[in-house]
């Protein structure tokens, strides 16, 4: 059966490359993936599937009913691009100014379409239902996973386990990376407004300079990581944007700081808003200024279920062989709203190697990011194998 999956994935490889390139050339931002959704539906037309569109605005849910189909397994791919201007000189370069698939979601969609077609061919061998979740807006908090969950993609029939993957430019194509336990961080965002008193740049003593205060706040926030958090608990506090002032000789009234907090421990995550607030309050009070803090908790920590990860790992072995399963030893401080699924039902998230065989390697979210497209057939085959392995070993967890 797994040899058949590999053969079918190889047969679908040219089609998946074409789909990936078409999506790459026509990227769409979060909750704007209308043409991508249409492409998914067009590519799956004629198959014995239930297709629901417009879920959480632009999401697509495809259901393949097995026999007898008492249990249900889900596979998920995200669809959105990033507000990045592509710098690659390739035939499939983005045609959208300032928009690019710099995170591989074009590949995710094409591979999930491939998995749908493979499993449709094997329908008579399926004893589970399969839901294929094409999710919008992974890149922008608060993301598209929660709206899709609220729209019922995990219900009727209830999903017992969910699988997802992400391309990784540092793992060679043909390899699969797996991580036990915590995989990705929780991601929060904050906006701080420093409220001072503006005036002439030549008379700073008559003002309360919010730019100087902002500089002290930025420095002081780093003490959360260096002096207020257990060194064995990874935390990131990054101020990523600062806006204030409009002229070379005018001290501004206010400065706005925006940034992100990343944590791997939900208890530490809960402590972060008050820790930021206490430091900002102390610094601004010392300078005679005021402030506002808007702190938004974002995606939760992504944790792999051990039973479901074991299924994904075996599926990877079935397709690429044991020597090409690469253990990932440390989590990433990046975040993924796939965690919104795994916080509700058992799930596993793994990595697909797409490192080019030659040339420079560029990270995710880089304007020159690209993939080794030979990995598409590997990803589609592993996703399909996850379903076959799941129906053998998983039981309903309620």
State phi, psi for 384 to the nearest 5 degrees.
-65, -40
Among the listed residues 8, 299, 336, 349, the single catalytic one is: 299
Q: Burial, 16: exposed, middle or buried (Cβ in 10 Å; 0-12, 13-18, 19+)?
A: buried
- Distance separating alpha carbons of residues 376 and 388, to the nearest angstrom: 19
Is the separation of the CB atoms in 169 and 374 below 8 Å? no
Q: Is 28 helix (H, G, I), strand (E, B) or coil?
A: coil
For strands 182-184 and 302-303, give the pairing.
antiparallel
Annotation marks residue 299 as catalytic: yes
Beta bridge partners of 283: none
How many residues are recorded in the chain?
A: 398
Bond before 68 cis per omega within 30 degrees = yes
DSSP 8-state symbol, 159: P
Closest C-alpha to 164, from 386, 348, 9:
348
- Distance separating alpha carbons of residues 359 and 203, to the nearest angstrom: 55
Is the separation of the CB atoms in 244 and 254 below 8 Å? yes
Annotation marks residue 336 as catalytic: no
Q: Which residues are catalytic?
A: 299, 373
């Amino acid at each position: 059966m797994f040899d058949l999956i590999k053969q079918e994935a190889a047969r679908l490889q040219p089609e998946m490359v074409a789909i990936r390139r078409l999506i790459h050339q026509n990227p769409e931002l979060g909750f704007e993936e209308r043409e991508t959704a249409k492409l998914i539906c067009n590519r799956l037309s004629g198959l014995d599937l239930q297709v629901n569109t417009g879920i959480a605005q632009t999401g697509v849910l495809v259901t393949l009913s097995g026999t007898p189909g008492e249990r249900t397994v889900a596979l998920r791919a995200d669809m959105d691009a990033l507000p990045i201007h592509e710098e690659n000189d390739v035939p499939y370069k983005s045609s959208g100014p300032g928009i690019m698939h710099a995170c591989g979601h074009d590949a995710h969609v094409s591979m999930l379409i491939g998995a749908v077609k493979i499993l449709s061919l094997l329908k008579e061998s399926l004893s589970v239902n399969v839901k294929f979740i094409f999710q919008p807006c992974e890149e922008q908090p608060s993301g598209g996973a929660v709206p899709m969950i609220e729209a019922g993609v995990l219900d009727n029939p209830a999903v017992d386990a969910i699988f997802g993957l992400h391309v990784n430019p540092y793992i060679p194509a043909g390899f699969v990376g797996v991580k036990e336990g915590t995989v990705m961080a929780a991601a929060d965002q904050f906006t701080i407004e420093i409220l001072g008193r503006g005036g002439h740049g030549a008379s700073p003593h008559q003002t309360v300079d919010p730019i100087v205060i902002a500089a002290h706040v930025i420095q002081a926030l780093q003490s959360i990581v260096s002096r207020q958090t257990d060194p064995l608990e990874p935390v990131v506090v990054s101020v990523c944007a600062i806006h204030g002032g409009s002229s070379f000789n005018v001290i501004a009234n206010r400065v706005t700081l925006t940034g992100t907090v990343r944590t791997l421990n939900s208890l530490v995550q809960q402590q972060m808003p008050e820790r930021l607030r206490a430091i900002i309050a102390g610094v601004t009070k010392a300078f005679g200024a005021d402030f506002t803090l808007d702190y938004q908790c974002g995606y939760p920590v992504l944790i792999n279920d051990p039973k479901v990860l074991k299924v994904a790992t075996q599926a990877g072995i079935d397709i690429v062989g044991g020597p090409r399963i690469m253990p990932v030893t440390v989590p990433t401080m990046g975040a993924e709203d796939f965690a919104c699924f795994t916080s509700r039902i058992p799930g596993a998230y793994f990595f697909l190697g797409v490192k080019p065989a030659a040339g420079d390697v560029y990270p995710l979210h880089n304007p020159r990011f690209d993939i080794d497209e030979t990995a598409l057939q590997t990803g589609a085959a592993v996703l399909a194998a996850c379903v076959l392995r799941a129906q053998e070993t998983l039981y309903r967890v309620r």
